Amino acid sequence: MASLPVEVVYGLYFGILTGLVPAAVAWLFGFGFRYVTGVTIPGLAVVVLSVAIAGASGGLMALADPTITQSDNQVRLTVALLVVLMGALYAHNRGDAFANEIPRKMSLRRLTERTLSTDVVELVGGRGQVTVTVPREVGDIEGYPPVPVDVRTAIRDGEWTFPADIPLVELESRFADRLQTEFDLAAVEVQIDEQARASVAAAAPVGGLSKRLSAGKRAVSIEALVPTGLAQGDDVVVATDGGTISASVVGVDSVTETVDADDAEDEEAPKWAPRAPTAAGGEGRVTLAVERTDVESLLRSDATQFVVTSRGVRREFELVSLLRRAGKRFSRLTVGADGPLDGVSLRAASVRDTYGVAILALRHGGTWTIAPRGDQNLSAGDTLYAVGSRSDLTAFEEAVA
């Protein structure tokens, strides 16, 4: 029999070799049990399992045999057993701690969520904002007509400012919607990196005026006394010889701007005028969208006057603005099968108390209900409109789905 220090060294060596597999298994059990159930697995169970694995791989279970416990190698075997047990307990604790640190519920959206670099965020009025730049040429989308050169230049030279507290995925969507709206593009594809540099591919609209006309409408141009500030989309009433005709404006004469001589020599002056211009006022031509049955009477009459009608105050937009100032957002959700809302009522689900959101409307059985009561039942496939903070809506969406 070797000396005691040598036997201890042998025991440590054998314990490390034999305890690698039990330690890995103990870490997986500690992490998995804690992550799935939220409860820590008992350490005794991990110790018994580790000894069993070590015995199967390294023969340490033979310590129960008296011929082994009374042999000359009992010191090194005892040390090896202690190393296996301590390694398994340590690995179990680390796995349990790791499962407690990471989020309990992970989603593909959260894993792929990218954010802006802090270097490009500017503080304006106490809130962060970012200016998106387009350093590269605007590309074309296959299958669509090419974008005009002046539109490409306007996209590249424009200043596009957005809130900085949104993920890059949503920032890309907002930038694409803004470009599509301002330049009347048929399609836009945007990719933004962490430095707020955008790669843009755009497509010119296939149609012009005909694309903006609703079904059953016809476009008619008339000469009239145009009010100052008239713009595309305004509702008007045209006075004709046979009565009045309701119409909507689809085109007006643009404002004529004068440029000073000094400004004309400035190379940085904008060379592109935004679409949807307003009328300068006075005698001019206006293109109106009218019903098909009103086209003939409008063309035959001398329509020299028309009145712009008021759309009134849109209270829903005021409500949306107030909610956004309070940090609230809207979300449209669909109730998933076998979820926490499937087959229960709003009162039983305790949506407001559990998730911190409010249900504004829902569609159940093909019927919409505004401000539903607590006894309203829910089932898979129902559509909900919820309002709450961004984080609460994200958690509610994951739970409902």
CATH number of 396's domain = 3.30.70.1450
Residue 59 lies in a domain: yes
Asked whether residue 87 carries a pLDDT value surpassing 70, the answer given is yes
Residue 111 lies in a domain: no
Asked whether residue 379 carries a pLDDT value surpassing 60, the answer given is yes
Residue 107 lies in a domain: no
Among 203, 229, 247, which residue terminates a domain? 203
Candidates 328, 353, 347, 342; CA nearest to 399 is 342
| Confidence (pLDDT) at 117 | 80
Among 101, 136, 155, which residue terminates a domain? 101
Sign of CA dihedral 107, 108, 109, 112: positive
Candidates 235, 229, 183; CA nearest to 208 is 183
pTM assigned to the model: 0.35
Sequence-ordered alpha helix ranges (H) in 70-167: 74-101, 108-111, 149-157
Residue 125 lies in a domain: yes
Averaged pLDDT for residues 61-76: 54
Contact 175, 192 (CB under 8 A): yes
- The range of the structural domain enclosing residue 245 comes to 214-258+274-308
144 and 167 assigned to the same domain: yes
Q: How many domains does the chain have?
A: 4
Confidence at 134, pLDDT banded by 50, 70, 90: very high
| Confidence (pLDDT) at 199 | 92
77 and 144 assigned to the same domain: no
302 and 282 assigned to the same domain: yes
| Confidence (pLDDT) at 207 | 64
302 and 327 assigned to the same domain: no
179-201 pLDDT, tens digit each: 988 887 888 999 988 888 999 99
Residue 46 lies in a domain: yes
Least trusted range by pLDDT, from 4-18, 83-97, 192-206, 224-238: 4-18
Confidence at 101, pLDDT banded by 50, 70, 90: low
89 and 21 assigned to the same domain: yes
Average pLDDT, the chain: 75
253 and 226 assigned to the same domain: yes
| Confidence (pLDDT) at 201 | 92
Residue 106 lies in a domain: no
Confidence at 294, pLDDT banded by 50, 70, 90: confident
Residue 112 lies in a domain: no
192 and 243 assigned to the same domain: no
Question: Residue with structure tokens 């030279």?
Answer: 157
124 and 195 assigned to the same domain: yes
CA dihedral of residues 299, 300, 301, 306 (deg, nearest 10) = -10
Residue 266 lies in a domain: no
10 and 96 assigned to the same domain: yes
Asked whether residue 305 carries a pLDDT value surpassing 80, the answer given is no
88 and 135 assigned to the same domain: no
11 and 69 assigned to the same domain: yes
Confidence at 10, pLDDT banded by 50, 70, 90: low
82 and 27 assigned to the same domain: yes
Contact 355, 328 (CB under 8 A): no
Confidence at 353, pLDDT banded by 50, 70, 90: confident
Confidence at 224, pLDDT banded by 50, 70, 90: confident
